[in-house]
C-alpha cells in the first residue's frame, strides 16, 4: 500500500516537473521569436556571384526583419576557399548560438564534418550554391539545399546559341565556313556545376544542329584573371580561328573579354552563366553575347525565408515548394543581346 503511494507521489512529482519544463521551453521559444541568428559561411567572398548573392542576403534579411518584426542577426564569414577554415567557422557559429546555418560549402564532397557538428548541436543547415553529395544530404531531415539546376543552366546556355544560329547563322559562324569553332572555359574540376555545365551546354549545341568544333579548352577555376591568361594564350596560338567562347560562368567570360580587348578587340561571341552585375553590364555594352541568370532576388529570398522558418521552428515557407522536402531550384532565364526570353 505504502509502495503504491510512493509510486503515485513520484508520478505526480514527475508530471509537475514535465509541466514546468514544457512551460520553460515555451517561454524560451517565445523569447527566441524576438530574434534569430543566422551564421553564413561563404566558400570564397571574392567570387562575384557569391558577393552579389551575399549583398542580397543582407537586403532580404532586413526586409524580413521589417515585415515580421523579428530581429535577424547575420554573421557572415568568408572561408577563403579552405574547408578547414569553414569547419572552424561552423564550430564558432554553433558556439555563438546561431539558430540556423547557411553554408556555401568549399568542398561539396566534404560537408560531412559540418553536418556532424550541426546535427550534434541540433542546428539546421541550408546549403546553397554548391550542392553537397546526396549521401550527406540524406543524413538528416533538417538539411536543405538552395541552388540552380546545373543541367537546366547548361541547356539554356546552349539553347541561346542554337536559337541565334537558327535565326541568323552568320551571327555565330562568323567566318561562314560552315563550322563554329569554339573554346571552352571551365570552372573548378571538383565542382559538379562545372562538369554538368560543360557537358550539357556542348550537347545542346550539337543536338540543336550547330556545327561546332572545339579548338581548345582550359580550367580557369571560375576566375576572371585565370580565364584572361588562358584566352590571351589561345588568341596567340589560334589567331583568327575562335568564333565562340563558351564559359562556365560570367567572371571567366569577362576574363576572356579582357584578353580580347588587350589584343585589340576581336568580334567573337562570348557566352557566360550567372548574370552577375559585371556580366550584365558587359551584356548591356554588347561585349557579352549572352548569359543565363538565376533570379537572384528569389534565390536570396528563399535562403533567408527557409533559414528563418527553420530557426523559428515554423513549417517550411509555403511559397517555395521543396523537391523531396530538401531541394529548391531557383528559376533561370536567358539574357541575350538580341533575344530576351523567360
Partner 1 sequence: MISRRGKVLLFLYAIFLAALFLMCSTDWIIREPEKEVYQIAVIIDEDKSDNYTNFRKGMDQAAAELNADVHFITLYKKLDVEQQIGLMEREREDGADALIVIPVKEGQVVAETSAVPVTLLHPAPSNEAGGIVVDYRKMGERMAQEMQTDMPKGSTVLLLTASGKWGVADQLFLEGARETFGIGENVRQAVWKEGEAGFLAVLDGLGLQEGEKTAVLAQNPEVLSAAAGILAESQEVAGRILGLYGRGSTVQILNYLDRGQIRGVCVTDGFGIGYLSVCEAVRELEGNGKKEALVMDSYYIEKEDLREEFFERMLFPVE
Answer for the pair 275, 251: CB distance below 8 angstroms, yes or no.
no
Longest pairwise C-alpha distance within the chain:
103
In whole angstroms, the minimum distance from the beta carbon of 37 to partner 1 comes to 8
The conformation of residue 80, written as its DSSP 8-state character, comes to: T
Upper half-sphere CA count for residue 273 (Cβ side, 13 Å): 30
Residue range at the interface with partner 1 (CB under 8 A); choices 66-74, 112-120, 241-249, 307-315: 66-74
User: Which of 11, 14, 19, 96 touches partner 1 (CB under 8 A)?
Assistant: 96
User: Which of 206, 262, 285, 340 touches partner 1 (CB under 8 A)?
Assistant: 285
The answer to the question of residue 73 lying near partner 1 (CB under 8 A) is: yes
User: Which of 32, 33, 70, 77 touches partner 1 (CB under 8 A)?
Assistant: 77
In whole angstroms, the minimum distance from the beta carbon of 96 to partner 1 comes to 6
User: Which of 23, 29, 66, 236 touches partner 1 (CB under 8 A)?
Assistant: 66
- Number of residues near partner 1 (by CB under 8 A): 14
The answer to the question of residue 62 lying near partner 1 (CB under 8 A) is: yes
User: Which of 40, 53, 57, 74 touches partner 1 (CB under 8 A)?
Assistant: 74
- Residue 100 sits at φ, ψ, to 5 deg, of -155, 150
Angle value at C-alpha 84, between 36 and 130, nearest 5 degrees = 65
Nearer to partner 1, 96 or 339 (CB): 96
Helix intervals (H) in 69-111: 83-95
Which parts of the chain are beta strand (E)? Answer: 35-42, 71-78, 100-103, 125-128, 143-147, 180-186, 212-219, 244-247, 269-271, 290-294, 327-329, 332-336, 340-341
Residues that bind partner 1 (CB under 8 A): 34-35, 46, 55, 58, 62, 66, 71, 73-75, 77, 96, 285
Amino acid at each position: 500500500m505504502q509502495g503504491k503511494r510512493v509510486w503515485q507521489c513520484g508520478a505526480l512529482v514527475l508530471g509537475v516537473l514535465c509541466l514546468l519544463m514544457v512551460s520553460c521551453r515555451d517561454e524560451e521559444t517565445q523569447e527566441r521569436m524576438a530574434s534569430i541568428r543566422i551564421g553564413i559561411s561563404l566558400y570564397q567572398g571574392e567570387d562575384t556571384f557569391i558577393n552579389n548573392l551575399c549583398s542580397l542576403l543582407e537586403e532580404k534579411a532586413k526586409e524580413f526583419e521589417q515585415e515580421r518584426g523579428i530581429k535577424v542577426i547575420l554573421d557572415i564569414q568568408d572561408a577563403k576557399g579552405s574547408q578547414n577554415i569553414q569547419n572552424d567557422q561552423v564550430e564558432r557559429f554553433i558556439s555563438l548560438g546561431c539558430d540556423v546555418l547557411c553554408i556555401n560549402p568549399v568542398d561539396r564532397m566534404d560537408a560531412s564534418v559540418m553536418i556532424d557538428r550541426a546535427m550534434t548541436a541540433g542546428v539546421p543547415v541550408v546549403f546553397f550554391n554548391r550542392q553537397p553529395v546526396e549521401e550527406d544530404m540524406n543524413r538528416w531531415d533538417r538539411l536543405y539545399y538552395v541552388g540552380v539546376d546545373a543541367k537546366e543552366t547548361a541547356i539554356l546556355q546552349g539553347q541561346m546559341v542554337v536559337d541565334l544560329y537558327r535565326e541568323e547563322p552568320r551571327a555565330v559562324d562568323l567566318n561562314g565556313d560552315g563550322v563554329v569553332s569554339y573554346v571552352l572555359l571551365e570552372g573548378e574540376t571538383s565542382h559538379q556545376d562545372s562538369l554538368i555545365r560543360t557537358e550539357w551546354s556542348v550537347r545542346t549545341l550539337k543536338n540543336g544542329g550547330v556545327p561546332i568544333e572545339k579548338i581548345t579548352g582550359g580550367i580557369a577555376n571560375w576566375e576572371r584573371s585565370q580565364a584572361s591568361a588562358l584566352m590571351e594564350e589561345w588568341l596567340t596560338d589560334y589567331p583568327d580561328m575562335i568564333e565562340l567562347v563558351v564559359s562556365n560562368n560570367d567572371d571567366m567570360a569577362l576574363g576572356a573579354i579582357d584578353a580580347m580587348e588587350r589584343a585589340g578587340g576581336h568580334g567573337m561571341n562570348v557566352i557566360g552563366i550567372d548574370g552577375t552585375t559585371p556580366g550584365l553590364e558587359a551584356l548591356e555594352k554588347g561585349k557579352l553575347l549572352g548569359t543565363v541568370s538565376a533570379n537572384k532576388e528569389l534565390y536570396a529570398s528563399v535562403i533567408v525565408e527557409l533559414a528563418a522558418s527553420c530557426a523559428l521552428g515554423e513549417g517550411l515557407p509555403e511559397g517555395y515548394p521543396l523537391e523531396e522536402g530538401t531541394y529548391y531550384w531557383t528559376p533561370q532565364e536567358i539574357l541575350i543581346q538580341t533575344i530576351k526570353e523567360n
